[in-house]
Structure 1
Amino acid sequence: MKIERTAYAKINLGLDVTGRRDDGYHIVRMIMQNVDIYDTLTFEDNDTGEVVLTANQDTIPTDGSNLICKVAKQLQEEYGVKKGVNIHLVKRIPVAAGMAGGSTDGAAAYMALNELWNLGLDKKRLCELAVKLGADIPYCILGGTALAEGIGEELTIISDMPKCSIVVAKPNIDVSTGWVYKELDSKEIENHPDIDGIRKAIEEGNLEEMCGLIGNVLEPVTSSKYEEIGKLEALLTKAGAIGAFMTGSGPTVFGIFDDEALAKKGYESLCDSGMKLQVFLSGPINPNKL
């Protein structure tokens, strides 16, 4: 039996940090949104009991350190699964980009292996298992537009984001999430985004108001070290974006456009900028409604 899954990237329409737990995890309030940038994973069971992962890029780890393999091993151990699985990953989502590329692949593994191995688990149970491996994976299992609280695992599905075009750009730099949070902890947060206001604007379908409220407390930290973030936001705004922001801990930036032609212009301006970038012309998506 063979199963193919599409794993969608996410962006943060708002990211606030409100505290830190004793175990080091940060307490957050975020609005999460899937975008139409995706990896493709193919799963085929085998009788060896082994978890075998291959990928289309040599830089992708395919050993036990990969979250996909961790998910498969966890399910084997938790439910006494004797079968193994051959998995092939076609990676398109930028790596280390603040777009949950690893987490969404892990979520796809939960969904596919639940079906492949006839485990009969509902999404609630899959999310309970998933949070043990990563705080973003439960959101990636549920998908769509969601308010995430706690360490990211307390999820409330909200209305779909208003229709728009989104240009996404990842500069050729790698940002350590650990470093960003450590820097954040060393200073007081001056501006907390209005997460409830963002949610209200989304539910009212008001794209312009939503863009006026979007904020990310991690952005000042990352952008102070990497000038590319500010440059990308300026280019997107100049091209007609009604808002341009960093997602997650960076370095990826996205611009929101209410006009598809302007979005294409923004996409082309980034492609022609001379900067080393991965650029995508995308939009919001709810995988549950495809």
Structure 2
Amino acid sequence: MNTIQLDSFAKINLSLDVLEEREDGYHNIDTIMQLIDLKDVIEIECIDQNECIIECNKQNIPLDHTNLVHKAWEALKKYTGIQQGIKVHIQKNIPVAAGLAGGSSNAAAVIKGLNEILGLNLSKEEMMEIGIGIGADVPYFFMGKTARATGVGNIFEEISPLKTEGVLIVNNGREISSKEVYEDIETSEKSKIGKVVSAIENQDLNALRESAYNTMEKVVFEKYPKIHDIKNRLLSLGADVVLMSGSGATVFAITNTLEKRNEIYEELKEDYPIVFKAKTI
């Protein structure tokens, strides 16, 4: 076997708190990460040349060494010593620089795919170790579970999944650099994520609405008030939980019923370039 195709799912942050800055320049965080069924499709083919060729259906995706797919290939070569060239086609559906970790998910898919087709027999822990050198969100995608992430996002505690089909993804097309958000962030002294975990474990949307938060919203909403407008509009339309995911610009809504989710979708689908129905997985 020299080709493989994998689904590369997006994530949302059911809450996100940014804590103290570390000596290495990164910040400690406390967040809850949840997979949703919005996905890219990654096709990997082994080739004779010792290079990584990237193709994509979208024009705004870099196809060079700056793409996390390329970084994943380089990191895997360094870790294992393999000298195997690949051609990767990305069927891109996840919005870029949107707080959904599409690039990180793609990188993890490449590592998982090559681990399988080359018979590398890397453990989940080894793949996570490779992933952390590529990007803070990459290790999460080797879990495939709902998880609370601490440290720089590399220490995981599996929690009960939030089971809902009533998810709506809204994005106005603005690409946001997480680095810029971190530069202006006001850090928290103490995380309150524990209350969010309890709400999720009890499948209690009312408690989740009261407890869920994202400390990055303040910075992003001040810089990009139209993203704040999306959140306010979703709330005014009756969504139960509304939050910006990651560093934005995606705002997600969770509704108690599919009927309400679909009603909001119909209201917004012509007003924003990216509006997706989704469910948690």
Using the size of structure 1 for normalisation, the TM-score is 0.92
Q: Hey, what does 1:283 align to over in structure 2?
A: 279
Contact 2:75 2:134 (C-alpha < 8 Å) held by counterparts? no
Root mean square deviation of aligned Cα = 1.5
- Structure 2: distance between partners of 1:188 and 1:157: 25
- Structure 2: distance between partners of 1:51 and 1:234: 43
The one-letter amino acid paired with 2:266 is E
Contact 1:55 1:88 (C-alpha < 8 Å) held by counterparts? yes
Contact 1:167 1:282 (C-alpha < 8 Å) held by counterparts? yes
Q: Hey, what does 1:208 align to over in structure 2?
A: 206
The one-character-per-residue Cα deviations of 1:228-287 (angstroms, maximum 9, x if unpaired) are 1222112212222112111111111011101101101111111133xx4311011111xx
Q: Hey, what does 1:257 align to over in structure 2?
A: 255
SS of residue in 2 equivalent to 1:124: helix
Q: Hey, what does 1:157 align to over in structure 2?
A: 158
Q: Hey, what does 2:22 align to over in structure 1?
A: 21
- Structure 2: distance between partners of 1:176 and 1:134: 14
Contact 1:161 1:202 (C-alpha < 8 Å) held by counterparts? yes
The one-character-per-residue Cα deviations of 1:84-138 (angstroms, maximum 9, x if unpaired) are 1111101100001011011000110110011111110011110011101111100
The one-character-per-residue Cα deviations of 1:165-204 (angstroms, maximum 9, x if unpaired) are 11111112222222211111xx4659x6620111111112
SS of residue in 2 equivalent to 1:181: helix
Contact 2:54 2:64 (C-alpha < 8 Å) held by counterparts? yes
> Structure 1: 5+ residue runs without aligned partners?
286-290
Q: Hey, what does 2:8 align to over in structure 1?
A: 7
The one-letter amino acid paired with 1:196 is G
Contact 2:18 2:187 (C-alpha < 8 Å) held by counterparts? no
Q: Hey, what does 2:37 align to over in structure 1?
A: 36
Quick one: structure 1 residues 162 and 206, their matched pair in 2 at CA, closer, same or farther if it must change by over 3 Å?
A: farther
Contact 2:46 2:87 (C-alpha < 8 Å) held by counterparts? yes
The one-letter amino acid paired with 1:265 is E
Q: Hey, what does 2:242 align to over in structure 1?
A: 244
Moved >4 Å (runs of 4+): 187-190
Q: Hey, what does 1:219 align to over in structure 2?
A: 217
Give the 5 Å matches for 1:115-126: 115-126=116-127
The one-letter amino acid paired with 2:154 is E
Q: Hey, what does 1:74 align to over in structure 2?
A: 75
Aligned length: 280
Quick one: structure 1 residues 238 and 109, their matched pair in 2 at CA, closer, same or farther if it must change by over 3 Å?
A: same
SS of residue in 2 equivalent to 1:4: strand
Contact 1:165 1:257 (C-alpha < 8 Å) held by counterparts? yes
Q: Hey, what does 1:101 align to over in structure 2?
A: 102
The one-character-per-residue Cα deviations of 1:23-71 (angstroms, maximum 9, x if unpaired) are 1100000001111110000011122222211111122111111111111
- Structure 2: distance between partners of 1:56 and 1:284: 25
- Structure 2: distance between partners of 1:144 and 1:266: 28
SS of residue in 2 equivalent to 1:27: strand
- Structure 1: distance between partners of 2:145 and 2:173: 28
Quick one: structure 1 residues 157 and 228, their matched pair in 2 at CA, closer, same or farther if it must change by over 3 Å?
A: same
Q: Hey, what does 2:88 align to over in structure 1?
A: 87
Contact 1:54 1:88 (C-alpha < 8 Å) held by counterparts? yes
SS of residue in 2 equivalent to 1:258: coil
SS of residue in 2 equivalent to 1:57: coil
The one-character-per-residue Cα deviations of 1:217-237 (angstroms, maximum 9, x if unpaired) are 110111112121222112212
Contact 2:44 2:89 (C-alpha < 8 Å) held by counterparts? yes
Contact 2:30 2:191 (C-alpha < 8 Å) held by counterparts? no
The one-letter amino acid paired with 2:33 is M
The one-letter amino acid paired with 2:101 is A
- Structure 1: distance between partners of 2:59 and 2:262: 31
Residue 83 of structure 1: how far off its partner (Å): 2.4
